[in-house]
Structure 1
């Protein structure tokens, strides 16, 4: 990336230029200045509670995923596309119920359960369905293995897990985080200024992310079903099988289901947020462990018992995996190579190779872009002029622009 590239200078600039992913860090670090708010498009964005002062938000901007990204993995193995790692392979939860209920094979849930059972963590900061609004997600702190298992499952939509970060730190107890790769990057960046994270955060666990859709995708399904959001009692995106069916239940006892293919087969309808289209690290290079879908060609061939790919990226992640296997909380299958993951997740390879061109296009349009370190974007740059021009045009025609919401 050219040294002339401009960085966002305020929270407003991050949001208005499509670089916000709604992680919740603004609300955690500036609770009297920012409140995470659902927009009309179905995106969680920080709304200002008073006068905006970029100087007061310096701590936020120093860790915001729309301003800075960095690979922190230090595993002994290296791949140009997939970065640093210690182990790549197949895995699933040792508990059959977790394996069935959780998304894919339940690896992240199993690791969270193990951390609490073993006493390594007092609680897990993660997200779950909001009991008051089941279509939506909310951050929670799960203190028992049963809580972690009960709150498992993919949430295909906005999640502001890091809005709970300061509350978690104020407890002064060891904890782990299960979140998105961009959230992991924000946590690692924040740790440079807050030593409590190095002292208390025992593990950062993420999914390999295909992109976070806005809530408009879920609203479209409810419109198709003729169900008002306020009538929903259950909204499950996946799980109860692999990949499992999306399921909607209502107050009057009705239930609806859609297969994974019916809901997600058309990628054009995913309603992925802009920051995800510009994501330099959807593969968890700031995490200790990343879990992935491992369907050949990125498409499930039908329902099965549930299998995850697992990538350990640090000594912490490797030791956690080994401890969970020893206890029976996690089961390992066959080993994988980075080229296997190219086959399982081809869109990640394509995105990684295209990102430098997209960022160039934004810079050429006069837009700010995030700083990036250790993610090999320049090395992987294919020089694709269509990608560059596409990002440039989308910036200029307003397709990437957003408005700062009101609280």
Structure 2
């Protein structure tokens, strides 16, 4: 069982034990489906499947040897989660207990009105990805986009030009195995940037400790501040509302084309359906957030060079409004990129912001950061494996709660873990789902 290290210093790994198998990582709710384990083990040894629960999960096609499992345990963002290196924290313009190291914090958006409109929120990540290519800083951008054949689903994408980056604009809720062939990407030997979930970036930073090509070739890592990855079943519920099957879809846009923009569905026979962002997320019991997200210590992208958030009061839009992002510049490298993107007009600043404002705009992220230490302790008490966490100040965040609040979080996690609510069934390939949600 893992240990929870909460200091700002990098800790040493827990005592040597048998590494968790893929089945144990998945079964204990630690997997987020990034796909990096498949890339490490090889396609002939691990496959990624879409489970009946609507999660992308790895399945070992044959028994993996101990050295392979040890490497997977060392890089998996469900078993090892590290914050930024101490030097980054010590040298930062600002270091906050909850928000980590910050070089600059602004409200802004893409400079191009089209990117701003099509993109999610203010389109800042799309604009930065385009600028990285146009400025010659990287050869390509690794990110995700809607599948062309199954548009409700998400696939990893390599973009070599600005138009291709724009094709991937807009939030993609649901499973995304961004790193499924990451080793092959490193084999290209070309400089690139990664735009992904914070946990994906955690996985790649873990791999960098074992493979020097990561730091040589991945010049920038950009993250969106993540509210949690939902299951595909969340999207299937939207289809059921309209009596549609996934095989009928020509377009499934979660949001974008506005701020936040409508959830829009188009069918191959020309019909169109829309619901608002609020309608999509109005029932919290049906958010279908994956188990790993509920214990995530770094949904705010502390390991990224730049992290970008929505900028709605209390995390949710009341109406369609001005497209705007919170832009958290975290590293010196990110600061150079951001300043150059602003000078070139790729990104525009509305105004400077600060920790107090981002904490209000993303109040749910503050609550989660303060809750994670107790949740992990509760899981430990229930006898479940937990991630080995370093450098993310979890205990310090928890100290901002009352003792009663921490006790409630810990007991809640302990009880849910004992009842199996924080775990998952064994990963198996799902059957095709029909219009009524039945196999």
- Scaled by the length of structure 1, the TM-score of the pair is 0.97
For 2:51, which of 33, 39, 45 is the aligned residue? Answer: 39
CA displacement at 1:14 relative to structure 2 = 1.1
Aligned pairs for 1:384-403 (under 5 A) are 384-403=406-425
Unaligned runs of 5+ in 1: none
Residues in 1 aligned to 2:225 and 2:419: alpha-carbon distance in whole angstroms: 31
For 1:60, which of 72, 75, 96 is the aligned residue? Answer: 72
CA displacement at 1:53 relative to structure 2 = 3.0
Could you tell which deviates more after superposition, 192-201 or 375-384?
A: 375-384
Aligned pairs for 1:8-407 (under 5 A) are 9-31=20-42, 32-72=44-84, 74=88, 75-381=92-398, 382=401, 383=403, 384-406=406-428
Residues in 2 aligned to 1:58 and 1:398: alpha-carbon distance in whole angstroms: 25
CA displacement at 1:165 relative to structure 2 = 1.3
Partner of 2:264, secondary structure, is strand
Could you tell which deviates more after superposition, 179-188 or 263-272?
A: 263-272
User: Relative to structure 1, is the Cα distance of residues 295 and 8 closer, same or farther in structure 2, using a 3 angstrom cutoff?
Assistant: farther
Residues in 2 aligned to 1:335 and 1:219: alpha-carbon distance in whole angstroms: 40
Any conservation in 1 of the 2:314–2:364 contact (CA below 8 Å)?
no
CA displacement at 1:93 relative to structure 2 = 0.6
Partner of 1:234, secondary structure, is strand
Partner of 1:380, secondary structure, is helix
Partner of 2:379, secondary structure, is helix
- Scaled by the length of structure 2, the TM-score of the pair is 0.90
Any conservation in 1 of the 2:94–2:102 contact (CA below 8 Å)?
yes
Partner of 2:327, secondary structure, is strand
CA displacement at 1:7 relative to structure 2 = 9.5
Residues in 2 aligned to 1:8 and 1:107: alpha-carbon distance in whole angstroms: 39
CA displacement at 1:164 relative to structure 2 = 3.0
Unaligned runs of 5+ in 2: 6-13, 430-439
- Per-residue CA distance 1:251-300 (angstroms, 9 max, x = gap): 11110001011111232221100100010000001100100011112121
CA displacement at 1:217 relative to structure 2 = 0.4
Any conservation in 2 of the 1:233–1:249 contact (CA below 8 Å)?
yes
Any conservation in 1 of the 2:4–2:390 contact (CA below 8 Å)?
no
CA displacement at 1:29 relative to structure 2 = 0.9
Residues in 1 aligned to 2:393 and 2:218: alpha-carbon distance in whole angstroms: 27
Aligned residue pairs total 407
Residues in 2 aligned to 1:403 and 1:183: alpha-carbon distance in whole angstroms: 23
